[in-house]
Amino acid sequence: MLRDRMPFHFIRLRKFWYAISILLIVPGIISLFSQGLNLGIDFRGGSLLDLKFNQTIEVDQVRAVMAEFELADASIQRSGETDFLVRTRELSEEENANVIAALDQRLGGVTVQRSERVGPVIGQELIRNAFLALGVAAVLMVVYIAWRFEFKQGITAIIAVLHDTLLVTGIFSIFQIEVDSSFVAAILTIIGYSINDTIVIFDRIRENMLNKKKGELLEDVINTSLWQTLARSINTGMSVIFVLVALLLFGGTTIHNMVLALLIGVIAGAYSSVCNASPIWYDMKKTELHGKFGTARA
């Protein structure tokens, strides 16, 4: 019997899972309010130069040239032996040409692989669209889960997704990792992954509820369902994590932050689907049942 092989009871330990989530999320929320996110040029506007030099160059050499144009505070990242990503305030076409010419002359030749400029108006539009996309996704998920299962499960699924989103954004805020438009794509991907895992668990709970034995407690049905789907959740999660770790190590600077967000989110999503969504739903159902029992007694 599966029940005989369960090393612990997920639902009876739910307060422990809640405590872990709170300990992970609260520092990030404090950081979000105190220092916010390190918004990239996609959101606050600016210029991006993807440069390839003809010889090996150090970051300090690039920064010294940038300082001549009052751009010493530019973000300069090495993305290869001779490749650099330079992010600055928004530059005019003339300023951009002068910077590139100076780098070319002082540092032995440079090839511009990419040059982008994003105005602050476009950045504000991206922020609005990002929040709109997250809001629409949340509403559609609640509607679908309420139709497929029940409304309370839709609410708990959104709470679990909110847990994952806050954890990722909190970590990015604490360490001031740059956030760009790819971060929004990563968050939406995390939401989809987390919801998929949660729905699989809810579906197994529904099947077990239909075959529920007389006198069997709801917490035991949920616990059995979680153990039955745990191997599937771990196997799916690990297969995704292996790919993301490989991309994080060898994918280059351009996608580094996006892959990091996905990696944190996938781990958080696997945890919240098992340890948060179903236990929260159990607490909501228990409150509902107690309310009905109290009304009946009255």
**What does pLDDT average to over the chain?**
87
Q: Which two tokens stand for residue 264?
A: 């944190």
Q: Which two tokens stand for residue 127?
A: 């922020």
List Cβ neighbours of 9 (8 Å cut-off, separation of 6 or more). 219, 223
Q: CA 29, CA 261: separation in Å to the nearest integer?
A: 16
Q: Which two tokens stand for residue 273?
A: 């689907």
Residue 291 banded pLDDT, cuts 50, 70, 90: low
Residue 18 banded pLDDT, cuts 50, 70, 90: very high
Least confident of 170-179, 237-246, 265-274, 286-295: 286-295
Buried b (16+ CB within 10 A) or exposed e, 216-225: eebbbbbbbb
Where is mean pLDDT largest: 108-122, 161-175, 278-292?
161-175
What's the mean pLDDT in 217-241? 92
Residue 293 banded pLDDT, cuts 50, 70, 90: very low
pLDDT of residue 294: 47
Residue 247 banded pLDDT, cuts 50, 70, 90: very high
What's the mean pLDDT in 227-232? 92
Q: Which two tokens stand for residue 38?
A: 């390190």
- pLDDT above 70: residue 78: yes
Decide if 68 contacts 102 (C-beta within 8 A): yes
Buried b (16+ CB within 10 A) or exposed e, 120-130: eeebeebeeeb
Q: Does domain 3-40+122-297 have CATH number 1.10.240.10?
A: no
Instruction: Please count the CA atoms within 13 angstroms of the CA of 164 that sit on its side-chain side.
Output: 35
CA nearest 270: which of 206, 190, 205? 190
What's the mean pLDDT in 263-278? 94
**Beta-strand (E) ranges in 80-237?**
83-88, 110-118, 178-179
Decide if 113 contacts 51 (C-beta within 8 A): yes
pLDDT per residue as tens digits for the range 201-224: 999 999 999 888 877 888 999 999
What's the pTM value of the predicted model, to 2 decimals? 0.81
More confident site: 167 or 108: 167
In this structure, is the dihedral angle defined by the CA atoms of residues 40, 42, 46 and 49, taken in order, positive or negative? positive
pLDDT of residue 1: 47
What does the DSSP 8-state code read for residue 284?
H
More confident site: 134 or 225: 225
Residue identified by tokens 């300090």 is 60
DSSP bridge pairs for 38:
178
* φ and ψ of 191, to 5 deg: -60, -45
More confident site: 287 or 164: 164
Q: Please provide the size of the chain in residues.
A: 298
Instruction: Please count the CA atoms within 13 angstroms of the CA of 211 that sit on its side-chain side.
Output: 8
Decide if 218 contacts 282 (C-beta within 8 A): yes
Q: CA 106, CA 233: separation in Å to the nearest integer?
A: 54
List Cβ neighbours of 185 (8 Å cut-off, separation of 6 or more). 258
What's the mean pLDDT in 193-198? 89
pLDDT of residue 298: 39
pLDDT per residue as tens digits for the range 25-39: 999 999 999 999 988
Please report, rounded to a whole number, the percentage of residues in the chain having pLDDT higher than 90. 47
The CATH architecture of the domain made up of 46-118 is 2-Layer Sandwich (3.30)
Domain ranges of the chain: 3-40+122-297, 46-118
- pLDDT above 60: residue 297: no
Residue 5 banded pLDDT, cuts 50, 70, 90: low
- pLDDT above 50: residue 181: yes
CA nearest 292: which of 236, 249, 284, 127? 284
